[in-house]
Amino acid sequence: MSGILRSKYRTALPLFLSIFQGLAEAVSPVSIKGTKLYDESGAQFFLKGTVYVAGDNRNDPLLNTTQCQIDAEHLKNVGANAVYIYSIDVSKLGQHRGCMEEFDKQGIYVWLQLGQLPMVLSRSDNTPRWDLGFYNTWTSIIDSFSEHDNLLAFGIGQETINGTSVTTLVAPSVKAAARDLKLFRDKRGYRPIPISYTAGDFEQYRLLTAQYLTCGPAESSVDLYGINIFNNCSDDKLDRLRSEFSNHHTPVVFAEDGCFPETREFSEVQTFFGESEFSRIFSGMNIYQWGRNEFGFALVVYGDEADRNLGQPGTFLPAYTSLQQVWSETVPQSTSRDAYTFSSTQLPCPTANPQVGWLVDRAAALPVISGLDINTVTARTRRTRPTTSTSATAVPTESGDNSRDNSRDEEVLASSGMSAGAIAGMAIGIVAAVVGGAGAAFWFLRRRKSRQGEPDDHNGPYEKAAADSDRLSTAKTELPDQERAANELEGRFHYHQLPVKTDWKYPLEAGSKPVSELPDGAGRPGNHFELEGSPVHGPGYNPGAELPAPAPVPK
Protein backbone atom coordinates (compact mmCIF):
# COMPACT_ATOMS: atom_id res chain seq x y z
CA MET A 1 0.00 0.00 0.00
CA SER A 2 2.82 2.44 0.83
CA GLY A 3 4.20 1.86 -2.63
CA ILE A 4 0.90 3.14 -4.05
CA LEU A 5 1.06 6.20 -1.82
CA ARG A 6 4.66 6.92 -2.78
CA SER A 7 3.73 6.53 -6.42
CA LYS A 8 0.86 9.02 -6.02
CA TYR A 9 3.08 11.53 -4.26
CA ARG A 10 5.76 11.19 -6.91
CA THR A 11 3.17 11.57 -9.64
CA ALA A 12 1.70 14.72 -8.12
CA LEU A 13 5.01 16.37 -7.21
CA PRO A 14 6.12 17.25 -10.76
CA LEU A 15 2.74 18.86 -11.40
CA PHE A 16 2.94 21.01 -8.26
CA LEU A 17 6.55 21.93 -8.97
CA SER A 18 5.65 22.90 -12.53
CA ILE A 19 2.95 25.24 -11.22
CA PHE A 20 5.33 26.97 -8.82
CA GLN A 21 8.07 27.04 -11.42
CA GLY A 22 5.70 28.70 -13.89
CA LEU A 23 4.97 31.40 -11.35
CA ALA A 24 8.64 31.86 -10.54
CA GLU A 25 9.79 32.13 -14.18
CA ALA A 26 7.03 34.51 -15.28
CA VAL A 27 8.29 38.00 -16.02
CA SER A 28 7.61 40.68 -13.49
CA PRO A 29 5.49 43.68 -14.55
CA VAL A 30 7.60 46.79 -15.05
CA SER A 31 6.59 50.08 -13.44
CA ILE A 32 8.01 53.61 -13.29
CA LYS A 33 9.61 55.56 -10.50
CA GLY A 34 10.93 58.94 -11.50
CA THR A 35 13.15 58.52 -14.54
CA LYS A 36 13.73 54.81 -14.10
CA LEU A 37 11.99 51.50 -14.77
CA TYR A 38 11.69 48.80 -12.09
CA ASP A 39 10.43 45.26 -11.81
CA GLU A 40 8.43 44.05 -8.83
CA SER A 41 11.55 42.99 -6.91
CA GLY A 42 12.80 46.59 -6.97
CA ALA A 43 15.60 45.89 -9.46
CA GLN A 44 16.14 48.53 -12.13
CA PHE A 45 15.07 47.42 -15.60
CA PHE A 46 17.08 48.31 -18.71
CA LEU A 47 15.53 47.66 -22.10
CA LYS A 48 17.62 45.42 -24.37
CA GLY A 49 15.20 44.96 -27.24
CA THR A 50 14.87 44.70 -30.98
CA VAL A 51 12.34 46.04 -33.43
CA TYR A 52 10.52 42.80 -34.20
CA VAL A 53 9.62 42.15 -37.82
CA ALA A 54 8.86 38.50 -38.52
CA GLY A 55 6.09 36.08 -39.35
CA ASP A 56 3.77 35.78 -42.31
CA ASN A 57 1.60 38.81 -41.45
CA ARG A 58 3.60 41.92 -42.19
CA ASN A 59 1.21 44.11 -40.22
CA ASP A 60 0.97 41.83 -37.19
CA PRO A 61 3.96 39.73 -36.04
CA LEU A 62 2.06 38.49 -32.98
CA LEU A 63 -0.36 36.18 -34.81
CA ASN A 64 1.96 33.27 -35.60
CA THR A 65 2.59 31.48 -32.31
CA THR A 66 4.98 28.95 -33.86
CA GLN A 67 7.13 31.71 -35.33
CA CYS A 68 7.13 33.61 -32.04
CA GLN A 69 8.28 30.46 -30.26
CA ILE A 70 11.18 30.05 -32.70
CA ASP A 71 12.22 33.69 -32.54
CA ALA A 72 11.80 34.04 -28.78
CA GLU A 73 14.53 31.45 -28.21
CA HIS A 74 16.92 33.23 -30.58
CA LEU A 75 16.07 36.61 -29.07
CA LYS A 76 16.87 35.29 -25.62
CA ASN A 77 20.10 33.82 -26.93
CA VAL A 78 21.27 37.16 -28.32
CA GLY A 79 20.50 38.76 -24.96
CA ALA A 80 17.27 40.58 -25.75
CA ASN A 81 14.62 41.13 -23.09
CA ALA A 82 12.07 43.04 -25.21
CA VAL A 83 10.55 43.45 -28.66
CA TYR A 84 9.12 46.61 -30.20
CA ILE A 85 5.94 45.96 -32.21
CA TYR A 86 4.70 48.51 -34.76
CA SER A 87 1.13 47.27 -35.09
CA ILE A 88 -1.32 44.44 -34.59
CA ASP A 89 -4.46 43.48 -36.48
CA VAL A 90 -7.36 44.75 -34.39
CA SER A 91 -9.76 42.48 -36.27
CA LYS A 92 -7.98 39.51 -34.67
CA LEU A 93 -7.95 40.52 -31.02
CA GLY A 94 -7.79 37.47 -28.78
CA GLN A 95 -5.51 35.62 -31.21
CA HIS A 96 -2.28 37.08 -29.82
CA ARG A 97 -2.18 35.17 -26.55
CA GLY A 98 0.12 32.45 -27.92
CA CYS A 99 2.87 34.86 -28.96
CA MET A 100 2.60 36.88 -25.77
CA GLU A 101 3.01 33.72 -23.71
CA GLU A 102 5.94 32.45 -25.80
CA PHE A 103 7.77 35.73 -25.24
CA ASP A 104 6.82 35.61 -21.58
CA LYS A 105 8.41 32.18 -21.20
CA GLN A 106 11.70 33.53 -22.49
CA GLY A 107 11.62 36.62 -20.28
CA ILE A 108 10.83 38.99 -23.15
CA TYR A 109 8.63 42.07 -22.80
CA VAL A 110 6.46 43.54 -25.55
CA TRP A 111 6.31 47.27 -26.27
CA LEU A 112 3.22 47.62 -28.44
CA GLN A 113 2.27 50.55 -30.62
CA LEU A 114 -1.49 51.10 -30.54
CA GLY A 115 -1.46 52.99 -33.82
CA GLN A 116 -0.77 56.37 -35.33
CA LEU A 117 -2.71 59.60 -35.26
CA PRO A 118 -2.72 61.29 -38.69
CA MET A 119 -0.21 64.10 -39.00
CA VAL A 120 -1.31 67.66 -39.63
CA LEU A 121 -0.49 68.55 -43.24
CA SER A 122 -1.34 72.25 -43.31
CA ARG A 123 -2.20 75.09 -40.96
CA SER A 124 -5.77 75.09 -42.24
CA ASP A 125 -6.23 71.39 -41.63
CA ASN A 126 -8.91 71.16 -38.94
CA THR A 127 -9.66 67.46 -39.26
CA PRO A 128 -10.15 65.93 -35.80
CA ARG A 129 -7.08 63.97 -34.75
CA TRP A 130 -8.42 62.30 -31.61
CA ASP A 131 -11.95 60.98 -31.95
CA LEU A 132 -14.21 58.15 -30.86
CA GLY A 133 -13.03 55.85 -33.63
CA PHE A 134 -9.44 55.96 -32.43
CA TYR A 135 -10.57 55.72 -28.82
CA ASN A 136 -12.65 52.62 -29.54
CA THR A 137 -9.81 50.95 -31.40
CA TRP A 138 -7.07 51.69 -28.94
CA THR A 139 -9.06 50.86 -25.82
CA SER A 140 -10.05 47.52 -27.36
CA ILE A 141 -6.34 46.72 -27.75
CA ILE A 142 -5.71 47.79 -24.16
CA ASP A 143 -8.51 45.46 -23.04
CA SER A 144 -6.99 42.57 -24.95
CA PHE A 145 -3.35 42.96 -23.87
CA SER A 146 -3.44 44.41 -20.35
CA GLU A 147 -3.69 40.97 -18.75
CA HIS A 148 -0.15 40.12 -19.86
CA ASP A 149 2.54 40.93 -17.31
CA ASN A 150 5.14 41.18 -20.08
CA LEU A 151 3.29 44.04 -21.76
CA LEU A 152 5.86 46.79 -21.23
CA ALA A 153 4.09 49.85 -22.65
CA PHE A 154 1.40 51.03 -25.06
CA GLY A 155 2.61 53.49 -27.71
CA ILE A 156 0.36 56.25 -29.04
CA GLY A 157 2.45 57.62 -31.87
CA GLN A 158 5.54 57.04 -33.96
CA GLU A 159 7.17 60.20 -35.35
CA THR A 160 3.79 61.89 -35.64
CA ILE A 161 5.63 65.15 -35.05
CA ASN A 162 8.48 65.18 -37.53
CA GLY A 163 10.57 67.45 -39.73
CA THR A 164 8.12 70.32 -40.37
CA SER A 165 6.73 72.83 -37.93
CA VAL A 166 3.10 72.32 -38.97
CA THR A 167 3.20 68.73 -37.67
CA THR A 168 3.60 70.07 -34.13
CA LEU A 169 -0.08 71.05 -34.25
CA VAL A 170 -1.04 67.42 -33.58
CA ALA A 171 0.64 67.53 -30.15
CA PRO A 172 -2.54 68.41 -28.18
CA SER A 173 -4.29 65.38 -29.70
CA VAL A 174 -1.43 63.11 -28.63
CA LYS A 175 -1.71 64.48 -25.12
CA ALA A 176 -5.50 64.09 -25.13
CA ALA A 177 -5.06 60.46 -26.19
CA ALA A 178 -2.69 59.90 -23.27
CA ARG A 179 -5.21 61.45 -20.89
CA ASP A 180 -8.20 59.39 -22.05
CA LEU A 181 -6.33 56.10 -22.35
CA LYS A 182 -4.81 56.42 -18.89
CA LEU A 183 -8.22 57.24 -17.45
CA PHE A 184 -9.71 54.22 -19.23
CA ARG A 185 -6.85 52.02 -17.98
CA ASP A 186 -7.31 53.16 -14.39
CA LYS A 187 -11.09 52.86 -14.40
CA ARG A 188 -10.74 49.34 -15.74
CA GLY A 189 -8.57 48.52 -12.74
CA TYR A 190 -5.57 47.50 -14.84
CA ARG A 191 -2.05 47.97 -13.56
CA PRO A 192 -0.47 51.30 -14.56
CA ILE A 193 0.99 50.13 -17.87
CA PRO A 194 3.02 53.09 -19.21
CA ILE A 195 1.71 55.12 -22.13
CA SER A 196 4.54 56.10 -24.48
CA TYR A 197 5.31 58.28 -27.47
CA THR A 198 8.19 57.74 -29.91
CA ALA A 199 9.91 60.75 -31.47
CA GLY A 200 11.83 60.76 -34.73
CA ASP A 201 15.46 61.64 -35.28
CA PHE A 202 14.65 65.34 -35.68
CA GLU A 203 16.85 67.31 -33.35
CA GLN A 204 14.88 70.49 -33.80
CA TYR A 205 11.68 69.03 -32.29
CA ARG A 206 12.95 66.16 -30.14
CA LEU A 207 13.28 67.96 -26.81
CA LEU A 208 10.36 70.35 -27.36
CA THR A 209 8.07 67.40 -28.03
CA ALA A 210 9.31 65.65 -24.91
CA GLN A 211 8.73 68.74 -22.80
CA TYR A 212 5.21 69.29 -24.12
CA LEU A 213 4.04 65.67 -23.85
CA THR A 214 5.33 65.29 -20.28
CA CYS A 215 4.55 68.71 -18.81
CA GLY A 216 1.60 69.56 -16.59
CA PRO A 217 -0.60 67.04 -14.76
CA ALA A 218 0.55 63.43 -14.87
CA GLU A 219 -2.98 62.39 -15.86
CA SER A 220 -2.51 63.94 -19.32
CA SER A 221 1.20 63.23 -19.87
CA VAL A 222 2.95 60.33 -21.51
CA ASP A 223 4.84 58.14 -19.05
CA LEU A 224 7.65 56.91 -21.27
CA TYR A 225 9.44 58.85 -24.02
CA GLY A 226 11.05 57.01 -26.92
CA ILE A 227 13.57 58.37 -29.40
CA ASN A 228 14.63 56.98 -32.77
CA ILE A 229 18.28 57.50 -33.75
CA PHE A 230 19.78 56.59 -37.12
CA ASN A 231 22.82 56.92 -39.33
CA ASN A 232 26.23 58.03 -38.19
CA CYS A 233 25.78 58.40 -34.44
CA SER A 234 29.03 60.17 -33.68
CA ASP A 235 30.26 60.88 -30.17
CA ASP A 236 29.06 64.47 -30.63
CA LYS A 237 25.54 63.28 -31.44
CA LEU A 238 25.44 60.96 -28.43
CA ASP A 239 26.75 63.73 -26.18
CA ARG A 240 24.03 66.07 -27.42
CA LEU A 241 21.39 63.49 -26.59
CA ARG A 242 22.84 63.07 -23.12
CA SER A 243 22.88 66.82 -22.60
CA GLU A 244 19.32 67.31 -23.91
CA PHE A 245 17.75 64.79 -21.54
CA SER A 246 20.05 65.08 -18.53
CA ASN A 247 17.30 66.81 -16.54
CA HIS A 248 14.27 65.13 -18.04
CA HIS A 249 11.78 63.85 -15.46
CA THR A 250 10.39 60.71 -17.14
CA PRO A 251 12.14 57.58 -18.42
CA VAL A 252 13.75 57.97 -21.85
CA VAL A 253 14.57 55.01 -24.08
CA PHE A 254 15.70 54.55 -27.65
CA ALA A 255 12.80 52.96 -29.46
CA GLU A 256 14.88 52.43 -32.62
CA ASP A 257 18.66 52.33 -32.85
CA GLY A 258 19.95 52.29 -36.42
CA CYS A 259 23.41 53.71 -35.85
CA PHE A 260 26.30 52.72 -38.11
CA PRO A 261 24.43 50.38 -40.50
CA GLU A 262 27.58 49.39 -42.39
CA THR A 263 29.63 48.12 -39.46
CA ARG A 264 27.00 47.31 -36.82
CA GLU A 265 29.55 46.87 -34.05
CA PHE A 266 27.16 48.58 -31.63
CA SER A 267 29.60 50.97 -30.02
CA GLU A 268 26.63 53.21 -29.22
CA VAL A 269 25.07 50.35 -27.24
CA GLN A 270 28.28 50.02 -25.25
CA THR A 271 28.20 53.77 -24.61
CA PHE A 272 24.60 53.86 -23.41
CA PHE A 273 24.89 50.80 -21.19
CA GLY A 274 28.52 51.04 -20.16
CA GLU A 275 28.99 54.70 -19.23
CA SER A 276 27.33 55.75 -15.99
CA GLU A 277 26.27 59.19 -17.25
CA PHE A 278 24.26 57.55 -20.01
CA SER A 279 22.79 54.70 -17.97
CA ARG A 280 21.75 57.28 -15.37
CA ILE A 281 19.63 59.11 -17.97
CA PHE A 282 18.51 56.45 -20.45
CA SER A 283 16.72 53.17 -19.73
CA GLY A 284 17.83 51.13 -22.72
CA MET A 285 17.16 50.73 -26.42
CA ASN A 286 15.68 48.63 -29.21
CA ILE A 287 17.97 47.59 -32.04
CA TYR A 288 16.60 48.23 -35.52
CA GLN A 289 15.77 45.51 -36.49
CA TRP A 290 15.29 41.74 -36.09
CA GLY A 291 14.23 40.38 -39.47
CA ARG A 292 14.33 41.16 -43.17
CA ASN A 293 15.81 44.48 -44.21
CA GLU A 294 17.45 45.43 -47.48
CA PHE A 295 19.50 48.27 -46.07
CA GLY A 296 21.83 46.41 -43.75
CA PHE A 297 19.96 46.75 -40.46
CA ALA A 298 18.79 43.17 -39.94
CA LEU A 299 20.16 40.78 -37.31
CA VAL A 300 18.91 37.60 -38.99
CA VAL A 301 17.79 36.54 -42.46
CA TYR A 302 15.20 33.83 -42.94
CA GLY A 303 15.55 31.10 -45.51
CA ASP A 304 11.98 30.95 -46.82
CA GLU A 305 11.80 31.40 -50.56
CA ALA A 306 8.94 33.88 -50.39
CA ASP A 307 11.04 36.01 -48.03
CA ARG A 308 8.19 36.26 -45.54
CA ASN A 309 10.39 35.88 -42.44
CA LEU A 310 9.07 32.40 -41.69
CA GLY A 311 10.64 29.37 -40.07
CA GLN A 312 14.12 29.13 -38.66
CA PRO A 313 16.47 31.97 -39.59
CA GLY A 314 18.75 30.80 -42.39
CA THR A 315 21.55 33.21 -41.50
CA PHE A 316 22.63 34.87 -38.31
CA LEU A 317 24.35 37.99 -39.56
CA PRO A 318 27.60 39.33 -38.05
CA ALA A 319 25.49 42.01 -36.35
CA TYR A 320 23.78 39.27 -34.31
CA THR A 321 27.09 38.04 -32.93
CA SER A 322 28.38 41.58 -32.32
CA LEU A 323 25.24 42.56 -30.42
CA GLN A 324 25.32 39.34 -28.41
CA GLN A 325 28.88 40.10 -27.32
CA VAL A 326 28.21 43.76 -26.44
CA TRP A 327 25.11 42.92 -24.41
CA SER A 328 26.88 40.12 -22.55
CA GLU A 329 29.91 42.25 -21.70
CA THR A 330 28.18 45.52 -20.82
CA VAL A 331 26.48 45.84 -17.45
CA PRO A 332 24.70 49.16 -16.87
CA GLN A 333 25.07 50.91 -13.55
CA SER A 334 21.78 50.43 -11.75
CA THR A 335 20.05 51.78 -8.66
CA SER A 336 17.56 49.76 -6.65
CA ARG A 337 14.11 51.23 -6.19
CA ASP A 338 14.56 51.59 -2.43
CA ALA A 339 17.88 53.39 -2.85
CA TYR A 340 16.63 55.70 -5.59
CA THR A 341 15.55 59.22 -4.68
CA PHE A 342 13.82 61.04 -7.51
CA SER A 343 14.87 64.67 -7.63
CA SER A 344 14.30 65.88 -11.21
CA THR A 345 12.10 68.92 -11.71
CA GLN A 346 9.36 68.94 -14.33
CA LEU A 347 10.13 71.39 -17.10
CA PRO A 348 7.42 73.91 -18.03
CA CYS A 349 5.34 73.45 -21.14
CA PRO A 350 6.98 75.15 -24.12
CA THR A 351 5.37 78.26 -25.52
CA ALA A 352 4.50 78.69 -29.17
CA ASN A 353 7.53 79.99 -31.02
CA PRO A 354 7.38 80.01 -34.84
CA GLN A 355 11.04 80.97 -34.95
CA VAL A 356 12.04 77.55 -33.69
CA GLY A 357 9.14 75.74 -35.36
CA TRP A 358 6.93 75.01 -32.33
CA LEU A 359 3.38 76.19 -33.12
CA VAL A 360 1.45 74.94 -30.06
CA ASP A 361 0.71 77.34 -27.26
CA ARG A 362 1.14 75.98 -23.76
CA ALA A 363 -2.35 77.21 -22.85
CA ALA A 364 -4.06 75.46 -25.76
CA ALA A 365 -6.95 73.28 -24.57
CA LEU A 366 -6.71 69.56 -25.19
CA PRO A 367 -9.38 68.04 -27.47
CA VAL A 368 -12.39 66.37 -25.88
CA ILE A 369 -14.27 63.62 -27.73
CA SER A 370 -17.88 64.55 -28.32
CA GLY A 371 -20.31 62.01 -26.90
CA LEU A 372 -17.73 60.14 -24.84
CA ASP A 373 -18.83 59.34 -21.30
CA ILE A 374 -15.83 58.04 -19.37
CA ASN A 375 -18.02 57.35 -16.35
CA THR A 376 -19.63 54.42 -18.16
CA VAL A 377 -16.32 52.54 -18.17
CA THR A 378 -16.48 49.88 -15.50
CA ALA A 379 -13.86 47.72 -13.84
CA ARG A 380 -12.85 44.37 -15.20
CA THR A 381 -11.43 41.53 -13.19
CA ARG A 382 -7.92 40.56 -14.14
CA ARG A 383 -7.48 37.11 -15.60
CA THR A 384 -5.16 34.84 -13.71
CA ARG A 385 -1.99 33.78 -15.45
CA PRO A 386 -2.67 30.58 -17.42
CA THR A 387 -0.54 27.62 -16.36
CA THR A 388 0.87 25.16 -18.82
CA SER A 389 -0.85 21.81 -18.60
CA THR A 390 1.79 19.29 -17.60
CA SER A 391 1.24 15.63 -18.24
CA ALA A 392 2.92 14.06 -15.21
CA THR A 393 4.46 10.68 -15.63
CA ALA A 394 4.38 8.33 -12.67
CA VAL A 395 7.77 7.58 -11.19
CA PRO A 396 8.26 3.82 -10.85
CA THR A 397 8.52 2.39 -7.35
CA GLU A 398 11.85 1.32 -6.01
CA SER A 399 13.10 -2.04 -7.21
CA GLY A 400 13.66 -4.94 -4.81
CA ASP A 401 11.67 -6.53 -2.06
CA ASN A 402 9.46 -3.94 -0.38
CA SER A 403 7.36 -6.41 1.60
CA ARG A 404 8.80 -5.39 4.97
CA ASP A 405 8.19 -1.68 4.38
CA ASN A 406 4.73 -2.34 3.03
CA SER A 407 3.68 -4.44 5.97
CA ARG A 408 4.96 -1.86 8.42
CA ASP A 409 3.13 0.90 6.64
CA GLU A 410 -0.03 -1.16 6.62
CA GLU A 411 0.29 -1.70 10.38
CA VAL A 412 0.56 2.03 10.93
CA LEU A 413 -2.43 2.64 8.70
CA ALA A 414 -4.47 0.03 10.49
CA SER A 415 -3.61 1.44 13.91
CA SER A 416 -4.67 4.87 12.80
CA GLY A 417 -8.03 3.60 11.66
CA MET A 418 -7.67 5.36 8.31
CA SER A 419 -7.53 3.88 4.85
CA ALA A 420 -4.71 4.53 2.42
CA GLY A 421 -7.13 6.26 0.08
CA ALA A 422 -8.28 8.58 2.83
CA ILE A 423 -4.71 9.51 3.73
CA ALA A 424 -3.83 10.01 0.10
CA GLY A 425 -6.88 12.19 -0.36
CA MET A 426 -6.01 14.19 2.73
CA ALA A 427 -2.42 14.66 1.58
CA ILE A 428 -3.48 15.80 -1.85
CA GLY A 429 -6.12 18.05 -0.32
CA ILE A 430 -3.54 19.70 1.95
CA VAL A 431 -1.16 20.27 -0.94
CA ALA A 432 -3.99 21.63 -3.06
CA ALA A 433 -4.99 23.97 -0.25
CA VAL A 434 -1.42 25.22 0.04
CA VAL A 435 -1.22 25.76 -3.70
CA GLY A 436 -4.60 27.46 -3.71
CA GLY A 437 -3.63 29.68 -0.79
CA ALA A 438 -0.36 30.61 -2.43
CA GLY A 439 -2.17 31.35 -5.66
CA ALA A 440 -4.73 33.50 -3.86
CA ALA A 441 -1.97 35.38 -2.03
CA PHE A 442 -0.08 35.83 -5.29
CA TRP A 443 -3.21 37.16 -7.01
CA PHE A 444 -4.02 39.47 -4.09
CA LEU A 445 -0.51 40.95 -3.98
CA ARG A 446 -0.41 41.35 -7.74
CA ARG A 447 -3.86 42.94 -7.70
CA ARG A 448 -2.82 45.26 -4.90
CA LYS A 449 0.31 46.31 -6.75
CA SER A 450 -1.64 46.86 -9.92
CA ARG A 451 -3.87 49.27 -8.06
CA GLN A 452 -1.02 51.20 -6.46
CA GLY A 453 -0.65 54.62 -7.96
CA GLU A 454 -4.22 54.64 -9.19
CA PRO A 455 -5.63 58.09 -8.55
CA ASP A 456 -8.51 58.24 -6.11
CA ASP A 457 -10.24 60.89 -8.14
CA HIS A 458 -10.38 61.32 -11.89
CA ASN A 459 -11.19 64.96 -12.30
CA GLY A 460 -11.01 66.33 -15.80
CA PRO A 461 -12.95 67.13 -18.92
CA TYR A 462 -15.07 63.99 -18.55
CA GLU A 463 -16.12 64.74 -14.95
CA LYS A 464 -15.33 62.73 -11.85
CA ALA A 465 -14.89 58.97 -12.19
CA ALA A 466 -17.19 56.47 -10.61
CA ALA A 467 -16.74 55.56 -6.96
CA ASP A 468 -14.43 52.71 -5.93
CA SER A 469 -17.41 50.46 -5.47
CA ASP A 470 -18.22 50.81 -9.14
CA ARG A 471 -14.79 49.47 -10.05
CA LEU A 472 -15.59 46.15 -8.42
CA SER A 473 -18.07 45.31 -11.12
CA THR A 474 -17.01 42.80 -13.75
CA ALA A 475 -19.29 44.36 -16.32
CA LYS A 476 -17.78 45.61 -19.57
CA THR A 477 -17.74 49.17 -20.77
CA GLU A 478 -21.04 50.43 -22.10
CA LEU A 479 -20.02 53.35 -24.29
CA PRO A 480 -22.57 53.93 -27.05
CA ASP A 481 -20.29 52.97 -29.94
CA GLN A 482 -18.28 50.33 -28.12
CA GLU A 483 -20.35 47.19 -28.46
CA ARG A 484 -17.12 45.31 -29.11
CA ALA A 485 -16.04 45.89 -25.48
CA ALA A 486 -19.11 43.99 -24.28
CA ASN A 487 -17.58 40.85 -25.75
CA GLU A 488 -14.93 38.74 -24.11
CA LEU A 489 -11.29 39.60 -24.74
CA GLU A 490 -11.32 37.11 -27.60
CA GLY A 491 -14.19 38.89 -29.29
CA ARG A 492 -14.06 40.44 -32.72
CA PHE A 493 -13.57 44.09 -33.56
CA HIS A 494 -14.78 45.49 -36.84
CA TYR A 495 -12.70 47.71 -39.05
CA HIS A 496 -15.70 49.87 -39.93
CA GLN A 497 -15.30 51.52 -36.53
CA LEU A 498 -11.94 52.90 -37.57
CA PRO A 499 -12.04 56.43 -39.02
CA VAL A 500 -9.10 55.52 -41.26
CA LYS A 501 -7.57 52.13 -41.99
CA THR A 502 -3.96 52.49 -40.94
CA ASP A 503 -1.72 49.53 -41.74
CA TRP A 504 2.02 49.69 -41.29
CA LYS A 505 4.02 49.22 -44.43
CA TYR A 506 6.76 46.72 -44.50
CA PRO A 507 9.99 48.72 -44.99
CA LEU A 508 9.63 51.22 -47.80
CA GLU A 509 10.77 49.63 -51.04
CA ALA A 510 10.31 52.44 -53.52
CA GLY A 511 13.78 52.12 -54.99
CA SER A 512 14.99 55.15 -53.09
CA LYS A 513 18.53 55.46 -51.89
CA PRO A 514 19.27 53.83 -48.54
CA VAL A 515 20.11 57.22 -47.06
CA SER A 516 18.70 60.58 -48.02
CA GLU A 517 20.02 63.96 -46.99
CA LEU A 518 18.01 66.48 -45.01
CA PRO A 519 18.58 70.25 -45.29
CA ASP A 520 20.66 70.24 -42.12
CA GLY A 521 23.05 67.71 -43.62
CA ALA A 522 21.97 64.83 -41.42
CA GLY A 523 21.36 61.46 -43.01
CA ARG A 524 18.03 59.70 -42.87
CA PRO A 525 17.37 56.07 -43.82
CA GLY A 526 14.93 55.69 -46.65
CA ASN A 527 13.45 52.45 -45.33
CA HIS A 528 11.73 53.75 -42.24
CA PHE A 529 8.32 52.37 -41.34
CA GLU A 530 5.44 54.63 -42.21
CA LEU A 531 1.68 54.28 -42.38
CA GLU A 532 -0.11 53.03 -45.44
CA GLY A 533 -3.59 54.00 -46.52
CA SER A 534 -3.84 57.02 -44.24
CA PRO A 535 -3.02 60.73 -44.37
CA VAL A 536 0.48 59.79 -43.22
CA HIS A 537 2.87 59.61 -46.14
CA GLY A 538 6.26 58.00 -46.56
CA PRO A 539 9.61 59.65 -47.23
CA GLY A 540 8.91 59.94 -50.96
CA TYR A 541 5.76 62.01 -50.49
CA ASN A 542 5.93 65.46 -52.08
CA PRO A 543 3.20 67.71 -50.71
CA GLY A 544 4.29 70.66 -52.81
CA ALA A 545 3.14 74.01 -51.54
CA GLU A 546 0.78 72.48 -49.00
CA LEU A 547 3.54 71.98 -46.46
CA PRO A 548 5.67 74.91 -45.36
CA ALA A 549 9.41 74.65 -45.52
CA PRO A 550 11.15 73.31 -42.42
CA ALA A 551 11.49 75.89 -39.71
CA PRO A 552 14.93 77.39 -39.25
CA VAL A 553 17.27 75.46 -37.00
CA PRO A 554 17.88 77.51 -33.85
CA LYS A 555 21.39 78.84 -33.49
- State the Rg of the chain over Cα: 26
Q: Which of 23-37, 40-54, 449-463 has the lowest mean pLDDT?
A: 449-463
Domain ranges of the chain: 32-376
Mean pLDDT over 301-319 rounds to 81
From the number of C-beta atoms within 10 Å of its C-beta (0-12, 13-18, 19+), residue 41 rates as exposed
Listed in sequence order, the residues at least 6 apart from 483 whose beta carbon sits closer than 8 Å to its beta carbon are none
Tell me how far apart the alpha carbons of residues 389 and 161 are, in angstroms, rounded to a whole number: 47
Can you give the three-state secondary structure of 257-286, one letter per residue? EEECCCCCCCHHHHHHHHCHHHHHHEEEEE
* Average pLDDT over all residues of the chain: 73
List Cα–Cα distances, 479 to 5, 60, 378, 398, in angstroms: 56, 27, 10, 64
- Per DSSP, helices labelled H in 79-202 are 97-105, 132-145, 171-188
Q: Is 397 helix (H, G, I), strand (E, B) or coil?
A: coil
Q: Is 515 helix (H, G, I), strand (E, B) or coil?
A: strand
Mean pLDDT over 283-295 rounds to 86
Amino acid type, 208:
L
From the number of C-beta atoms within 10 Å of its C-beta (0-12, 13-18, 19+), residue 391 rates as exposed
pLDDT, one tens digit per residue, over 508-544 is: 222 233 333 333 333 333 333 333 333 333 333 333 3
Choose the CATH number for 32-376 among 3.30.70.260, 3.30.450.20, 3.20.20.80, 3.40.50.150. Answer: 3.20.20.80
Tell me how far apart the alpha carbons of residues 497 and 479 are, in angstroms, rounded to a whole number: 13
pLDDT, one tens digit per residue, over 4-28 is: 444 444 444 444 444 444 444 578 9
> Is the four-CA dihedral 517, 519, 522, 527 of positive or negative sign?
negative
330-336: Cβ within 8 A, 24+ apart: 330/269, 330/270, 330/273, 330/274, 331/273, 331/274, 332/46, 332/272, 332/273, 332/274, 332/279, 332/284, 333/276, 333/279, 333/280, 334/43, 334/44, 334/46, 334/279, 335/36, 335/44, 336/42, 336/43, 336/44
Q: What pTM did the predictor assign?
A: 0.71
Tell me how far apart the alpha carbons of residues 249 and 56 are, in angstroms, rounded to a whole number: 40
pLDDT, one tens digit per residue, over 130-183 is: 999 999 999 999 999 999 999 999 999 999 998 889 999 999 999 999 999 999
pLDDT, one tens digit per residue, over 184-213 is: 999 999 999 999 999 999 988 999 999 999
